[in-house]
Amino acid sequence: MIDTLRLTAEQALGMLERREVSSAELHRAYLEAAAARDGEIHAYLRLVEDGEDGEGGGVPIALKDVISTKGVETTAGSRILAGYVPVFDATVAARCRAAGMPVIGKTNTDEFAMGSSTENSAYGPSHNPWDPARVPGGSGGGTAAAVSAGLAPWGLGSDTGGSIKQPSALCGNVGLRPTYGTVSRFGIVAFASSLDQIGPVAKTVRDVALLYSIIAGRDANDSTTVQLPEPVRLPEDERLDGLRIGIPKQVWELAGIEHGVRASFEAAVDLARGLGAEVGECDLPLSFAYGMACYYLIAPAEASSNLARYDGVRYGPRVEAATYREMVERTRDEGFGDEPKRRIMLGTYALSAGYYDAFYGQAQKVRTLLIREHRDALERFHVLATPTSPTVAFPLGDKASDPLAMYACDLLTIPSCLAGLPGLNVPSGLSQGLPVGLQLIGRQFGENTLFRTGHALERALGFDTVPARLRT
Amino acid sequence: MSWETVVGLEIHVQLKTRTKMFCRCPAGFGAGENTQTCPVCLGFPGALPVMNRTAVEWTIKLGLALGCAIAPRAVFARKNYFYPDLPKGYQISQYDMPSCTDGRMLVPMPEGELAVGIVRAHLEEDAAKTVHVGGHSGRIGGADYSLVDYNRGGTPLVEIVTAPDIRSAEEAKRFLQLLRQTVVELGISDAEMEKGTLRVDANVSVRPRGSDEMRTRCEIKNLNSFSYIARGIEAEAARQIEVWESGGEVRQETFDFDAGSGRLTPRRAKEEADDYRYFPEPDLVPVEPPAEMIERLRAELPEPPAARIVRLARALELERAAVLVTGGLDRLWEATVAAGADRLAAANVIANNLVGAGVDPGAVDAAELAKLVAARDRIPRQAFDEAIARAGDAGFAAAPYLAREAVSDASELDPLIDAVLAANPGQVAAFRGGKEGLLGFFVGQVMKETGGSANPRVVSDLVRAKLLA
């Protein structure tokens, strides 16, 4: 019997290499786990029962439903793509398949990856395995919940403003948002092109590093990708001597950081000091003052353009009407949920003639300043550390009617996303019985340093990634 | 009051790259509808554009040929609007940072050289082709249904915008002929108006001569031949002059030119102002051409057609020089003259006979052609025409045709001439009454009788002598 709740991808790989289990058997085990537990969690939008690459010899994987999979319906959590079956694989999906990894299923997401709780999915919310009355975070709540509930050893998410890091924090997983340009976006249903990144979610830092090594690297189909300057190194046990960690002093001035989150964070920082790291304070005044505003201009602006292709002409459901214009209007009205509509409207406004300079243009200038501010801080420090989410997982419905409260969930993850920098979530402990996440931000292409830091802390913290209520 | 026409042009040139602008689909014409498409050019979710480097190089090359400054950093932007021929909901086009700016093309005109400013030349992707079935006027409004062929969608286009430096339909036509020849000689486009690989919109306004004000301009679209361009501009200028002179005011409008009727029909006014919400395309990196590339492209440029017209005009009259150059005939002409042919005769034979026979000037041996030009009046018309028609064949030699001497013997021609004169007493009387232009008619009749084998100059002399006798 395979204990999918505890099995890490690295362990699964060991079992495959020792021929104790086949890739197909592993795939079957996760499908059975999903049959048993996904009714409660709703991590998956659809399972891939007959994975054509089931014999591939690799560790099975869950893919967020914004990742195009050839022959498997891909909806991005939206009604407007219901029934859409891609004729091609996203580059990351192709790289997983090339590594022989069967796809377990497509995981739930906020519609077009817009949200922080996965309640915006047109196909119903996902639930947090630690407490099904609470959200798993978003927009990648499906992938995070699947890993946390043992329905997948690892998975891929997409992160625009925190959609890998934040749900990883809320579900007690390790999640990496890589440096912009290191992982191909080809085949990813676009939200905000200059911010979207694909990244791994797993139980351990080593698993995340391993999956990152499989998906990263230049892709001829995505001009914004680059070759990694150095190979991915799987972190070994070591101390953190010589490592300088910076903590932005603005973090504590932010409203809404829960006491338990702060306590967990401070304990983790003390632990890092004990491992030999040098901890200091850094200053990111603009990032925390203007990061959110900047993000909520740039992301919706790009989204308004990226979502224009869903017009009912070539694919997806079409609402018939008397004229072309009416057909497009009704198709989009019925196909998009409230959050995409809200962002399309915001973005259209921000880009419109007469407002461009005041909004989008200004936001791009602020973004340049944020990039500079982060670069300066990261000249003094190897990594920056903050809590990942100001709060632990909140009850379903708590913020559903208050968009601004929902947007505030990504307060801490957004600035480094705007700066294009890599970020890693590592579970730092529990508060109210729910996971708390530690965010480590690295230099551009500094993934190996993040892995080293995260791995050392993970070992020292000894966090049990299996939700308490599922432990037997 | 005397009026002056002011014209600025927008020209779209379809590049003949092997593949489309942002994907690897073939960019050619003629394939079955929607067979040359892929997820990228159909705008499927997740598809990303990848720049066609050849198209970028060719745009820069054209810019250099037009004397433009080449941007060290050009940026693609998204131009957002909804239309079924636009699969992504936006067109990718260079907007505020185009590859080429501030150029100038000199256009030799009889009155002197006209300098036409090139405001910009930028690279963009073409939209797909739509056919609106049913309803009225072939437009989407009121159509029963619409069909879209995405084969053309995503093919590379260069848009060239001129300053309003053109003052007449003639100037516009000559400028476009030169531009077309430049593009063809660069090898970057077939630039054929009837195939839509060269498309021209004209912005026309008028003003009192001597004034330098800019009055309201109107745009004319669908000008698909050089003569329609001239006629469209003339018709629009005349319309505007009439409006101003009758005390009215020209409103900014867009017209379609219907070549059949020669009429301008206004396009249905848009329901609302366009707002394309341009912003830099985040899926592409900026174009930053290395200096070596620009220098290499500059070194590859042929001698500009305008300069060649000026050079030829020292030996021929300007119009003839322009016809040779814009027809791509001047190199053959120069070689033929160098081989000993008379300048004017060579120009006439090349521009009229050779072109009329559909011979590829590039395939003609100039030395052989020079022999034909020299013998033009000596050999039978038929032999000459046959020789011209075959002049482009591989290994063509003039000798066999030159051997067929024309009939110049008066004793053979006299009876034929007498018969022709006798059969046309009315024309004979008219000629003798002063209509000397009828000489050609009689010569033609005699030539016909001889089956083209007579020497026309000898016939002409004999006919004239008999008529004046």
In chain B, what are the domain boundaries?
3-298, 328-403, 410-468
- pLDDT at position A54 is 45
Please name the member of B279, B284, B285 whose beta carbon is closest to the beta carbon of A301: B279
**Looking at the predicted structure, is the pLDDT value of residue B269 above 90?**
no
- pLDDT at position B210 is 92
Best of A324, A331, A345, A418 to mutate (most B CBs within 10 Å, chain B): A324
- pLDDT at position B403 is 74
**Can you list the pairs that A239-242 forms with residues at least 24 positions away whose Cβ atoms lie under 8 Å?**
A239/A275, A239/A276, A239/A456, A240/A272, A240/A275, A240/A276, A240/A277, A240/A452, A240/A453, A240/A456, A241/A275, A241/A276, A241/A277, A242/A276, A242/A278
Decide which of 1.10.10.410, 1.20.1050.40, 1.10.10.60, 3.40.50.720 is the CATH code for B410-468: 1.10.10.410
- pLDDT at position B270 is 54
Q: B455 pLDDT band (50/70/90 cuts)?
A: confident
Rounded to an integer, what is the distance from CA B190 to the centroid of its chain? 10
CB contact under 8 A, A223 and B45: no
Q: CB-based contact (8 Å) between A336 and chain B? A: no
Which residues in chain B are closer than 8 Å to A190, comparing Cβ atoms? 45-46
- Lowest-confidence segment of B66-80, B159-173, B249-263, B444-458 by average pLDDT: B444-458
The distance in angstroms from the start CA to the end CA of chain B is 55
Domains of chain A: 9-242+449-465 (3.90.1300.10)
Which residue in chain B is spatially nearest to A188 when comparing CA positions?
Answer: B46
Q: What is the pTM of this model?
A: 0.90
With H, G, I as helix, E, B as strand and everything else as coil, classify residue A144. Answer: helix
**Looking at the predicted structure, is the pLDDT value of residue B401 above 90?**
no
CB contact under 8 A, A68 and B284: no
Task: For B332-388, write each residue's pLDDT tens digit.
Answer: 999 999 999 999 999 999 999 999 999 999 999 999 999 999 988 878 788 899 899
Residue A134 near residue A176, CB atoms below 8 Å: no
CA distance A305 to B443: 72
Those of residues 89-108 in B touching chain A at CB distance below 8 A are: 89-90
Q: Which residues of A are catalytic?
A: 64, 139, 163
Quick one: what percent of chain B has pLDDT higher than 70? 98
Q: B457 pLDDT band (50/70/90 cuts)?
A: confident
CB contact under 8 A, A324 and B44: no
pLDDT tens per residue, chain A (472 residues)?
A: 799 999 999 999 999 999 999 999 999 999 999 999 999 999 999 999 876 544 568 999 999 999 999 999 999 999 999 999 999 999 999 999 999 999 999 999 999 999 999 999 999 999 999 999 999 999 999 999 999 999 999 999 999 999 999 999 999 999 999 999 999 999 999 999 999 999 999 999 999 999 999 999 999 999 999 999 999 999 998 899 999 999 999 998 887 899 999 999 999 999 999 999 999 999 999 999 999 999 999 999 999 999 999 999 999 999 999 888 999 999 999 999 999 999 999 999 999 999 999 999 999 999 999 999 999 999 999 999 999 999 999 999 999 899 898 998 999 999 999 999 999 999 999 999 999 999 999 999 999 999 999 999 999 999 999 999 999 7
**Looking at the predicted structure, is the pLDDT value of residue B260 above 80?**
no
Residue B244 near residue B208, CB atoms below 8 Å: no
CA distance A379 to A367: 18
Residue A117, preceding peptide bond in cis (omega within 30° of 0) = no
- What lies within 8 Å, CB to CB, of B401 at 6+ separation is B372, B375, B379, B383, B384, B386, B387
Quick one: what percent of chain B has pLDDT higher than 90? 70
